Amino acid sequence: MSLTFDDDLIACADLVRRADRPRFQAAMAAPVPARAVLFPIYAFNVEVARAPWVTQEPMIAEMRLQWWADALAEIRAGGVVRRHEVVTPLAHVLDADGAGLLIELIEARRWDTGREPFSDEVEFTGYIEATSANLVRAAAHALGPAEDAVLRDAGYALGLANWFRAIPALEAAGRRPLPDGRPEAVAALAREGLRRLVRARGRRAEVSPAAAAALLPLWEAGPVLRAAARRPARVAGGTLDPAPVRSRLTLMLRATSGRW
């Protein structure tokens, strides 16, 4: 796709810059043509992720999510798509399958509108896969060929790392973000995330160089998951973030080497 940063794309990039700094940094580290694909998808994710949290009324949150589901249904149908600074560029980069993945993401996000905890680890894993892994899959497939199983594993590892980092804020909001919050259960989850991350990276050759740009957000996943596995108390304490200088260096190395 040719890179044309019109007002809509600039608005998408600015939204991601303000609301999702790690993905903004990863997109800026990606090849320039990939940014026109990544920014609309990441901007969509910002809008959907925050929709349940900008209101105390579950019905209003549901309506916000449904608006985005309807917009994606228009993209999937291939007909007229509503005019919107995120939806319009999104329609240029998604095919029907990509739109379907993001509709599944929205359906999973409906959990955020309620107050019920995850019933078990299976439900929790399904949520992480439908949100984070589906986002990675949609972005990667919009960029180039990639083996879906690799993207699922990578997306799960990224989603789990990001979820661990969000737990203090989720608990402060009165949520129970884990099906089992005992230290040994948290450590076991982290080890599973690391296992899937290692498995995904062992199959890098099955992700084309073009699609690999969608996996650059994983640059901090390994350090975060290792920290959670070694010292689970750091999850609740909100002390999982890698040192900023080391983090930036790691991203640069991942971007230049292509070894996400």
User: Which one is predicted more confidently, 127 or 114?
Assistant: 127
Q: Does residue 162 share a domain with residue 82?
A: no
Nearest to 161 by CA among 216, 217, 224, 238: 224
**DSSP secondary structure of 39-67:** HHHHHHHHHHHHGGGS-S-HHHHHHHHHH
Confidence of residue 114 (pLDDT cuts 50, 70, 90): confident
Q: In this structure, are 222 and 253 located in the same domain?
A: yes
pLDDT value of position 3: 52
Q: Give me the number of domains the chain comprises.
A: 2
Domain that holds residue 102: 1-114
Query: 256 with 144, same domain?
Result: yes
Instruction: Kindly state whether residues 256 and 166 are assigned to the same domain.
Output: yes
Task: Mark whether 127 and 74 lie in a shared domain.
Answer: no
Q: Verify that 98 and 125 share a domain, yes or no.
A: no
Which of 114, 142, 172 is at the close of a domain?
114
In this structure, the answer to whether residues 127 and 253 fall within a common structural domain is yes
Would you place residue 55 in the very low, low, confident or very high pLDDT band (cuts 50, 70, 90)?
confident
Of 82, 114, 146, which one is at a domain's C-terminal end?
114
Same domain as 157, residue 37: no
Share of the chain above pLDDT 70, in %: 98
Same domain flag for 170 and 180 = yes
In angstroms, the Cα distances linking 90 to 5, 36, 184 are 13, 9, 41
Residues 86 and 2 in one domain: yes
Q: Is the pTM value of this prediction over 0.85? A: yes
- Label residue 236 exposed, middle or buried (CB < 10 Å: 0-12, 13-18, 19+): middle
